[in-house]
Amino acid sequence: MIEKTLASYPHITIKYSLSMDVLLVDWTGDQSRSSVMDGCEKILHYLRQYRSAKVLNDNTHVTSIWSDASEWVATDWFPRMQAGGCRLFAWVYSPNLYSKLSTDQTLLHGSGGVIATTFDNSDTAMAWLMAMG
């Protein structure tokens, strides 16, 4: 897989897979409402720039709860992602129970027209993205 690093910050790294046309997002460490909002805006920027319809959103390295941002992600950001061209959002759970609960809480609020599915590892998530087109 040929990848290009687009952005790298302490809380998030965003890459683009040229061969698979997928935005690859790796969240790292403790997350807060402000770091989630900042990272989400960066994802949206690169989604629009690369016109990718698929995102692999990996929370494997997230170590904290971030549920105070869950409603914003669902009701504000996901609709803008959908408007920006995102169709498929593969979300890899963190092994941290509280982060996992934050993901589930977000999806209870909805995903703004984006097909969002959760996974336990990035290989399965990528396979789903490729199978879905």
Domain count, the chain: 1
Chain-centroid distance of CA 58 in Å reads: 6
pLDDT digits (tens, 9 = 90+) for 21-78: 999 999 999 999 999 999 999 999 999 999 999 999 999 999 999 999 999 999 999 9
**What is the pLDDT confidence band of residue 133, given thresholds at 50, 70 and 90?**
confident
For the chain, what's the residue count? 133
Contact present, 82 and 112 (Cβ < 8 Å): yes
pTM (2 d.p.): 0.95
Domain CATH for 60: 3.30.750.24
- Please give the Cα distance from 111 to 82 (Å, whole number): 9
Give residue 81's domain range: 3-132
